[in-house]
Amino acid sequence: MTQMQLLMDRIRRDGQVKEGNILKVDSFLNHQIDVGLLEEIGKEFHRQFADRNVTKILTIEASGIAIACIAALFFHCPVVFAKKSKTLNIAGDVYSSKVESFTHKTTSEVVVSKQFLNSSDKILIIDDFLANGKAIMGLADLVHQAGAEVVGAGVVIEKGFQDGGKKIREMGIDLHSLAIVESMDPSTGIQFRKED
């Protein structure tokens, strides 16, 4: 599994470990965004999944959207994002699934309009974090409801000490995480899993 040294260096430098196994990377990934770094992330996802004939990238609001959009530039495909609530501007039927957020300790119903996923689609799922795996499982459920194919999942940061990555891989999804955090502690810092 290829990991991005540039990303790991940035996490070590600017990431903040908080109590409760929270890794804050909001200064460059999911609040304030380093677009140059996202470009390198998008290139790496493309390198890993270029042979999958991706027709759409699927993510979940809100933090995954910027990452998915930059990656889509390299795949030359649209991005679809699952909304965490059905709004008035989503017309017609939707696919829906329940997703539990590790960070927010909430469960949301996520929805995608049926017009944006169809059975001929080859879907690459992209997200910023993988902890318990619930977001990717929920997104994969939406894809399966549409009769489409999940051709892979790309995650920027996986918490390797939690079981989400193991669960996703056991489902048969080809998961590529750019940085896998093996352990983190406010006093000792962040340790990454060595490349396989």
Beta strands in the chain (DSSP E): 16-18, 22-24, 56-60, 79-82, 94-101, 106-113, 122-130, 149-159, 175-185, 189-192
- Give the pLDDT of the chain (196 residues) as one tens digit per residue: 345 899 999 999 999 998 888 899 999 998 999 999 999 999 999 999 999 999 999 999 888 999 999 999 999 999 999 998 766 566 579 999 988 876 667 788 899 999 999 999 999 999 999 999 999 999 999 999 999 999 999 999 999 999 999 999 999 999 999 999 999 988 888 999 875 4
**Dihedral (C-alpha) 101, 37, 1, 135: value to the nearest 10 degrees?**
10
Domain 5-192 has CATH 3.60.10.10: no
Helices (H) and strands (E) in the chain, counts: 5, 10
Q: Is the pTM of this model over 0.85?
A: yes
Q: What is the pLDDT of residue 101?
A: 74
Q: What is the pLDDT of residue 187?
A: 83
Q: What is the pLDDT of residue 1?
A: 38
Instruction: Name the residue ranges covered by the structural domains of the chain.
Output: 5-192
Structure tokens at 47: 């390198």
User: Would you list the DSSP string of 140-151?
Assistant: HHHHHHTT-EEE
What would you measure as the largest C-alpha separation in the chain, in angstroms?
51
Q: How far apart are CA 106 and CA 39, in angstroms?
A: 31
